[in-house]
Amino acid sequence: MKEKTTIKDAIDILYRFNWTIKIAKIYESNNLIFLRQIKSLLYLIQKAVEVDGEATFMLRQNTLFFNGIRLKFGFSSYFLLKFIINEFPKREIGILSFKTGLNEEELKNFIILFTKKGSKSKITLEDFLKGVKQYGIKHISIEKISPFDELSNEKKDSAKIFFLSITHLKETFNKQEAKERLPLLTTRRLMQSIFNNITQNESFLYGLTTIKNFDEYTLNHSVNVCVLSISLGKRIGLDRNELIDLGMSAFFHDIGKLEIPKEILLKPGKLDKDERNIIEKHPYYGAEKLIELRELSRLPVRAIHVAMEHHTSDGHSGYPIYTEKKTINLFSKIVKIIDFFDAITTKRPYRKKDFTREEAINMMLEKSGTEFDPLILKVFVDMMGTCPIGTMVLLNSGEIAIVVEINQETVYMLRPKVKLITDEMGNKLDGEIVDLTEMDPKTNKYTRTIVKSLDHDKYDIKASDYFVAQTR
């Protein structure tokens, strides 16, 4: 007899569950493809029930358990776990348990119920349970999510943490200049909060990274780089504590700029050779500053690497050029990608044009393998999507929208979730968020499709406004 269910078994069920839900959204309940998926899912569930007596998913503070086994984010399971962590709270589900005796009909009805769209973005558990009762589903039990898991989903809180991070960096820089002790313990705690918020509101936080504060460029930029680095690190499979180290590293990556005169940093127009030389010293100035802090032991050594290496590709191109060292740190490779992306999508005094997120990604892809690590860049492109969050798009309906959530399936990269900001006549509105994978059942065609991305500047639109507006 088989021993207890393994993590792999749990991931298999999750995978099949996820897939069945997607198919249920497309096909009718009597479609053979759908029924085949139900059969496969039922088989896996029954196997687990046979071994453990039940097949139970439990969501507790953003952590998913299956039959008591904790499922952690890994590179290949990232989207599956994310799916449950997003979908359960929407229906107020905390525990979903499949029991002995579950049959195909019950499972089919449950999946149909699960995919049913409510009038609001959130379906109450009460409504959901009514459906369960109505369908006569007896071998699936559901328990309500803990109020703490619900509360933590507020976008307002994510925005608060985002702005608090900028303030904290400013405070840290001030202390550094005054040669005071840095509050690194608070920084670490802040990173943990950013991590938690990324787990809960990843797309929204990406949206906030479209905030570009010209006056406090380094601060705003550093927080953007920090958020996106944690997110990228999470996708490539770094563990929690590594992600916090990565976040801190990204947070302080530009600390060396404190040593660069403001006249050079903010100089409009091209820098001359001497000025360029000075600005190119900021990586090792930063590294030196961080080295001096190391005694506080709250700063990861990798932060020093990142400060030193975020402008070099392999130590032999970019700056600084290494003499002995042959490689650059993984964290530096991650931050370098994000740093570049955020920098070129921000208006700078010395640059005539800032690039759209879409243009930036295309430009970066051209430098894959030379300037950027090709694998990490690939994951980054997947993460940002072909139409990154914050992109202003024109839909074939004539409506204009802002991308607010990427569709994680690579085949649907051009079909993200968007917030409508005008109607088809161009009248501005506080429109709903629509999923571009939605289809018109009558025509069996997509309801809306992106025609092209639009230039924000041309239409005087700031994508960040639409994200901040959700918190006010």
Residues 271-310 that bind other proteins (CB under 8 A): 284, 287-288, 291-292, 294, 300-302, 304-305, 308
Residue 400 makes contact with other proteins by CB under 8 A: yes
C-beta of 242 vs 314, nearer to other proteins: 242
C-beta of 270 vs 323, nearer to other proteins: 323
Q: Tell how far CA 402 is from the center of its chain.
A: 16
Interface with other proteins in residues 19-58 (CB under 8 A) = 19, 22-23, 26-27, 33
Residue 266 makes contact with other proteins by CB under 8 A: no
Site string for other proteins, 120-159 (x = CB under 8 A): ----------------------------x--------x--
Tokens at 336, concatenated: 């370098």
Contact 207, 159 (CB under 8 A): no
Angle between helices 32-52 and 104-115 (to 10 degrees): 110
Site string for other proteins, 236-255 (x = CB under 8 A): xxx-xxx-x-----------
Residue 445 makes contact with other proteins by CB under 8 A: yes
C-beta of 130 vs 276, nearer to other proteins: 276
Q: How far is the CB of 13 from other proteins (least distance, A)?
A: 14
Half-sphere exposure of 366 toward its Cβ, with a 13 Å CA cutoff?
Answer: 5
Q: What are phi and psi of 419, to 5 degrees?
A: -100, 125
Stretch that binds other proteins, among 41-49, 72-80, 124-132, 345-353 (CB under 8 A): 72-80
Interatomic CA distance for residues 469 and 79, integer angstroms: 28
Residue 218 makes contact with other proteins by CB under 8 A: no
Stretch that binds other proteins, among 64-72, 118-126, 271-279, 361-369 (CB under 8 A): 64-72
C-beta of 123 vs 172, nearer to other proteins: 172
Q: Tell how far CA 54 is from the center of its chain.
A: 32
Which CB contacts under 8 angstroms, 24+ apart, belong to 46-52? 46/102, 47/9, 48/5, 48/9, 48/10, 48/13, 48/98, 49/98, 49/99, 49/100, 49/102, 51/2, 51/3, 51/4, 51/5, 52/4, 52/5
C-beta of 72 vs 138, nearer to other proteins: 72
C-beta of 127 vs 242, nearer to other proteins: 242
Please tell me what DSSP assigns to residue 100.
T
C-beta of 236 vs 363, nearer to other proteins: 236
Interface with other proteins in residues 74-113 (CB under 8 A) = 75-76, 78-79
With CB under 8 A as the contact rule, the residue among 258, 264, 363, 414 that binds other proteins is: 414
Q: How many residues of this chain interact with other proteins, rule: CB under 8 A?
A: 113
Stretch that binds other proteins, among 84-92, 267-275, 339-347, 418-426 (CB under 8 A): 418-426
Residue 428 makes contact with other proteins by CB under 8 A: yes
23, 34, 296, 409, 448 from 104: Cα distances, Å: 16, 12, 59, 27, 34
With CB under 8 A as the contact rule, the residue among 104, 366, 430, 457 that binds other proteins is: 430
With CB under 8 A as the contact rule, the residue among 30, 119, 121, 323 that binds other proteins is: 323
For residue 349, count other CB atoms closer than 10 A to its CB: 11
What is the side-by-side strand order in the sheet with 69-71? 69-71, 63-66, 55-60, 93-98, 140-144
Exposed e or buried b per residue across 138-167, where buried means at least 16 C-beta atoms within 10 angstroms of its C-beta: ebbebebbeeebeebbebebbbebbeebbe
C-beta of 61 vs 103, nearer to other proteins: 61
Residue 435 makes contact with other proteins by CB under 8 A: no
3-state secondary structure of 14: helix
C-beta of 127 vs 192, nearer to other proteins: 192
Q: How far is the CB of 231 from other proteins (least distance, A)?
A: 14
33, 263, 335, 472 from 28: Cα distances, Å: 9, 64, 45, 40
Interatomic CA distance for residues 88 and 408, integer angstroms: 18
Site string for other proteins, 162-191 (x = CB under 8 A): -xx-xxx-xx--x--------x-xx-xxx-
Interatomic CA distance for residues 472 and 469, integer angstroms: 5
Helix (H) or strand (E) holding 194: helix 184-208
C-beta of 115 vs 127, nearer to other proteins: 115
Q: How far is the CB of 269 from other proteins (least distance, A)?
A: 27
Residue 211 makes contact with other proteins by CB under 8 A: yes
With CB under 8 A as the contact rule, the residue among 46, 115, 213, 447 that binds other proteins is: 213
